[in-house]
Structure 1
Amino acid sequence: MNTAADDPTIEYAGFWVRVGASLIDTVLMLIVTTPLIVAVYGWDSLFTDTLLRGPLDLVISWIFPAAAVILFWIYKQATPGKMALSLRVVDADSGAPLSSRQSIVRYLGYFVAMIPLGIGLIWVGFSSKKQGWHDLLANTVVVRAKNRGTEPVRFLQYK
């Protein structure tokens, strides 16, 4: 498979479309995890400053989301938010699906990218290949089709 730079049918996905995909993923994850947290720890647990409410919170809020995201990258090349916006996460050199190692490094790389005021995520907007620090650490890129419409718009010309 060609890299994004070699394939004229795809392009690197930019900052804002990736923000949109992340928002979709966040909402979906909250829809799944919030009822579980409420069922185990009650409504009041949503309004505390506690980072970790207990052992099940570790599983529901941290381990499950990490596993879900990593598995989506490995098997679908995208999380549901990226799928909704026709984005794919691929190896930066070959365009191939991510390895397990790349997926884990990319996920952990999000924490590295967020530590200095999110600069590692904002980096996507300034990078020529639209890579955040998490992408650079894992050697990945996010791509999408250049011609995303079903058909170009054509108007009749009158004489």
Structure 2
Amino acid sequence: MVEHEPAGFWIRLGATLLDGLIIGLPLALLGMMITGMPSEDEHLSDFLSFLYGLLTPILWGGYTVGKRICGIRITKTDGDPPGLGTMLMRNIVAGIVYGLTLGIGIIVSAIMVGVREDKRSLHDFIAGTEVIRD
């Protein structure tokens, strides 16, 4: 198995912010154009954002647009690209855990990425993934 450098907190945050600006904002605008109402587009844009976060890493070898720009990607711990089951665990199951802990899990995850040597968060452990630099 080839060792890769784990991606730390700031690069992961940067990739997430880029995804929000490049993908999330246009999806929100598209939702507003389709529904005609800013308050009613939330469900549509949330659903499209969910699909983007779930399917893009599967179809693009672990990358999202933001991750590609930042030179990082999601892999399974064995180095394989993530599949549907992996991404469902990473997004849905981890989302449920974060919701049940009232957001405390998100804070714990951020601290884990910041201080752990392997830079893995709770959702990485749940799904058996890691985020690595290319």
Residues 1:99 and 2:83 are matched in the alignment: yes
* 2:17 corresponds to: 23
Whole-Å separation in 2 of the counterparts to 1:91 and 1:66: 20
The code of the aligned residue for 1:41 comes to G
* 1:132 corresponds to: 121
Q: 1:83 to 1:91 in 2, by over 3 A?
A: same
TM superposition shift of 1:131: 0.8
Q: 1:22 to 1:111 in 2, by over 3 A?
A: farther
Residues 1:141 and 2:126 are matched in the alignment: no
Q: Percent identity?
A: 26
TM superposition shift of 1:128: 2.0
TM superposition shift of 1:42: 3.0
Extract unaligned runs of 5+ from structure 2: none
RMSD across aligned positions (CA): 2.0
The code of the aligned residue for 1:83 comes to R
TM-score scaled by structure 1?
Answer: 0.71
Which has the larger helix fraction? 2
Residues 1:42 and 2:37 are matched in the alignment: yes
* 2:73 corresponds to: 88
* 1:121 corresponds to: 109
Extract unaligned runs of 5+ from structure 1: 46-52, 146-159
